[in-house]
Amino acid sequence: MKAIKILISLLVFSVIFIAIYFSGFFYNMKITPCLPPPNIHPDGKVYTVAFAWEDQNKDGYYDEGEPAMPGVTIAHPLTLDVTSATNEKGLAETIEYKGGCPCNCWQGAYVEVMTPPGYVATNETKQMLTGENQTLLFGFAKAN
């Protein structure tokens, strides 16, 4: 008889837990941020900042005093028909949305810039993301 009471208690607890899970409570309260219930379809985002500069000493590293490069084209990998460009401070913010991605949406994402005419890249123009809210550096030196 005691075993039956325990089984009934476990069954009741399981039903309540499942009902709470499917309501989205755990997901919305960020208790299980990467495990949304099947009835919730999240859209994640990947936010990065790209910084382009003229690499005057061609070492691939930004040094104080090297000028920013406005007008460098940024390709958006998730929406290939969209491009943007760096502003007068050499900065461009990119926000990409990934449907159905609840967390770690940056995995597999990258930012790619186009080498401006008359310049050569001093580091990779296509850089993979390694985390959220990242700043990526893109250096360019004048071609000889």
pLDDT 10s digits, 76-114: 665 555 568 899 999 998 877 777 788 888 787 888 899
What residue spans define the domains of the chain?
A: 1-40, 43-142
User: Nearest CA to 72 among 81, 61, 82, 83?
Assistant: 83
What number is the average pLDDT over the span 21-42? 80
Higher pLDDT, 125 or 111: 125
CATH H superfamily, domain 43-142 = Immunoglobulins (2.60.40.10)
The pTM assigned to this predicted structure is 0.71
3 state SS of 26: helix
Q: How confident is the model at residue 129 (pLDDT cuts 50, 70, 90)?
A: confident
Q: 110-113 and 83-85: which strand pairing?
A: unpaired
Q: How confident is the model at residue 58 (pLDDT cuts 50, 70, 90)?
A: very high
H or E element at residue 4: helix 2-23
